[in-house]
Amino acid sequence: VGIYNYEGKSEHSLPLQIGTCLHLVEEYGPKTPGKAIWYRGYSMKNKDKQGIFPASYVHVKPCKVENEGRFENIIPTEDPVMKEVTFVLRDWAVKWKKLYVVLSLFQESHPMFTRIEEVMVALINYRRQLVQNTITEDQLFSIKNEIIMRIDWGNGKLGLDLVPRIDGEIIDDEKHSVISLYRVHCNSPRKLTMSRQRSSKENRHYDTHHVLVNVRGFPCNVGDEAEIYLSLFDADTNQFISEKFLVRYSKQGMPLSMDKLDAYYGLFLVGIICKLQTKLTNC
């Protein structure tokens, strides 16, 4: 992908623009991987024209090539949601600029213009988090849901087509019938409304509590090796609200590992909604 503009005035050069998708055919430079100086390739929009361009002007992304040859299909291996955000921002930028021109002609201001800008900035920040790949699985799932919700909202406000999805994944229209696509489109507005309601509930403020447990002894004589599981119990809802902490003792009532003598520690992390006065008891 081109990350800088390159005029490419020489005969065998290939002009580049920021965001141009390229397919690399050859590289010139040291044999050390990632140390190429020049690349030869072509743009995905015009495969007939090949040329060379500086390696520092492009960012190499992994991909999978199917049916190699003139009619080959190049599939990026990056996250599909991350890829969708890139295309969506390009489409929205065109519509957003047109909206600005129209409002400038009539010397009017519209809150929708600012709102779309805020959503675009949010999508950029979400994409940055996906690229950095330093978040947990739960955070990844939440961010993808936020991205999908904002994309569907923006497409509706800008008059663009609503993308058919099943469980957040874009469906292949060639593998589904017209009736199936119609049903997905009919269900999309309802699912979008449900996602907003669920998101508003999830945005409630939570208090995070830490409970440190130190097990010093096990006075019960069971005559055999014992495994004790500790967890936090909510007396109001009558259910466990934390993972289990395992403690092992020998038949003599001593820890299996003497290093754990008076040193069996377990740290519980619990998130509680501030509105609820949850009472925690040890089990």
Report the pLDDT value the prediction gives residue 275, as an integer from 0 to 100: 38
| Regions of the chain where pLDDT drops below 50 | 273-283
Give the number of other CB atoms < 10 A from CB of residue 277: 8
Report the pLDDT value the prediction gives residue 69, as an integer from 0 to 100: 67
Report the pLDDT value the prediction gives residue 261, as an integer from 0 to 100: 66
5-15 per-residue burial string, b: 16 or more CB within 10 A, e: under 16: ebebeeeeebe
Write out the DSSP string of 34-100.
T--SEEEEEETTEEEEEEEEEGGGB----EEEES-STT-EEEE-S-HHHHHHHHHHHHHHHHHHHHH
Report the pLDDT value the prediction gives residue 97, as an integer from 0 to 100: 87
Report the alpha-carbon distance of residue 73 to residue 41 in Å, rounded: 15
Domains of the chain are 22-76 (no CATH), 80-202 (1.20.1270.350), 206-282 (no CATH)
With CA atoms as reference, report the closest residue to 45 among 2, 78, 12.
2
Write out the DSSP string of 134-202.
-S-HHHHHHHHHHHHHHHHHHHHHTTPPPPPEETTEEP-GGGS-HHHHHHHHHHHHHHHHHHHHHHHHH
What is the H or E stretch that residue 21 is in?
A: none
Report the alpha-carbon distance of residue 267 to residue 232 in Å, rounded: 11
Q: What is the DSSP letter of 10?
A: S
User: Hey, what amino acid is at 159?
Assistant: G
Give per-residue pLDDT as tens, 213-259.
888 777 777 778 888 888 888 888 888 888 888 888 887 777 777 66
Report the pLDDT value the prediction gives residue 123, as an integer from 0 to 100: 93
Report the pLDDT value the prediction gives residue 273, as an integer from 0 to 100: 46
Pure H helices in 203-233? none
